[in-house]
């Protein structure tokens, strides 16, 4: 078993977008909205973490090819009890970029958790309500040329 040989596949434009949610306590959501998180605004930090993670996917997932990405775009949307993150990735490559999008959004959500974990812990140091859910590929495309 080895890495799949993609050398005979044509280089084409490939795009993928993944999304996911992190559920947080209302107090945490309020503090994010008010800009009062001790470590700073979680979204720019999570955006940078996601961009780095997407670019390093081949180091994290053994069978992924190293793909030079043309763009990684991360967005955040706040609802009353969760933050939804989305990661869009594009490249001209021989293989798809959906794993890069999934890794990017996963790391974005984990970074948000890391920045607010002091608010989410219960008296025993556990996270009874905090959860990351619905991580999925929402779109994958490849051009014909």
pLDDT in tens, 15-31: 999 999 999 999 999 99
In a domain, 98, yes or no: yes
**Could you say which of 34, 70, 114, 134 is catalytic?**
114
- Percent of the chain clearing pLDDT 90 (strictly above): 90
Report H helices in the chain: 26-33, 42-55, 57-60, 98-120
Q: Residue 13 belongs to what H/E stretch? A: strand 12-23
Kindly state the average pLDDT of the residues 78-82: 96
Kindly state the average pLDDT of the residues 93-113: 96
- pLDDT, position 45: 98
Kindly state the average pLDDT of the residues 97-119: 98
Kindly state the average pLDDT of the residues 49-71: 96
Q: What is the pTM of this model?
A: 0.95
Q: Residue 10 belongs to what H/E stretch? A: none
Q: Residue 131 belongs to what H/E stretch? A: strand 131-142
Number of folded domains that form the chain: 1
CATH of the domain at 54: 3.30.70.640
Kindly state the average pLDDT of the residues 35-49: 98
Q: Which residues pair with 91 in a beta bridge?
A: 14, 69
3-state secondary structure of 61: coil
In a domain, 135, yes or no: yes
In a domain, 3, yes or no: no
In a domain, 1, yes or no: no
**114 is annotated as an active-site residue:** yes
In a domain, 69, yes or no: yes
Give backbone dihedrals phi and psi of 106, rounded to 5 degrees, phi first: -65, -45
Q: For residues 26 and 74, what is the distance between their CA atoms, to the nearest angstrom?
A: 23
In a domain, 5, yes or no: no
Kindly state the average pLDDT of the residues 54-61: 96
Burial of 114 (0-12, 13-18, 19+ CB in 10 A): middle
Q: Which domain holds residue 31?
A: 12-142
In a domain, 2, yes or no: no
With both helix axes pointing from N to C terminus, report the angle between 26-33 and 98-120 in degrees, rounded to the nearest 10. 100
């Amino acid at each position: 078993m080895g890495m799949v040989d993609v050398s005979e596949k044509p280089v084409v434009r490939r795009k993928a977008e993944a999304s996911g949610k992190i559920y947080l306590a209302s107090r945490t959501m309020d503090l994010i909205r008010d800009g009062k998180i001790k470590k700073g605004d979680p979204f720019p930090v999570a955006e940078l973490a996601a961009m780095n993670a997407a670019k390093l996917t081949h180091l994290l997932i053994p069978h992924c090819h190293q793909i030079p990405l043309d763009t990684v775009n991360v967005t955040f949307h706040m609802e009353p009890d969760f933050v939804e993150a989305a990661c869009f990735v594009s490249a001209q490559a021989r293989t798809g970029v959906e794993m890069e999008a999934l890794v990017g959004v996963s790391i974005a959500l984990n970074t948000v958790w890391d920045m607010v974990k002091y608010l989410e812990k219960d008296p025993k140091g556990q996270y009874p309500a905090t959860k990351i859910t619905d991580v999925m590929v929402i779109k994958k495309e490849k051009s014909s040329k």
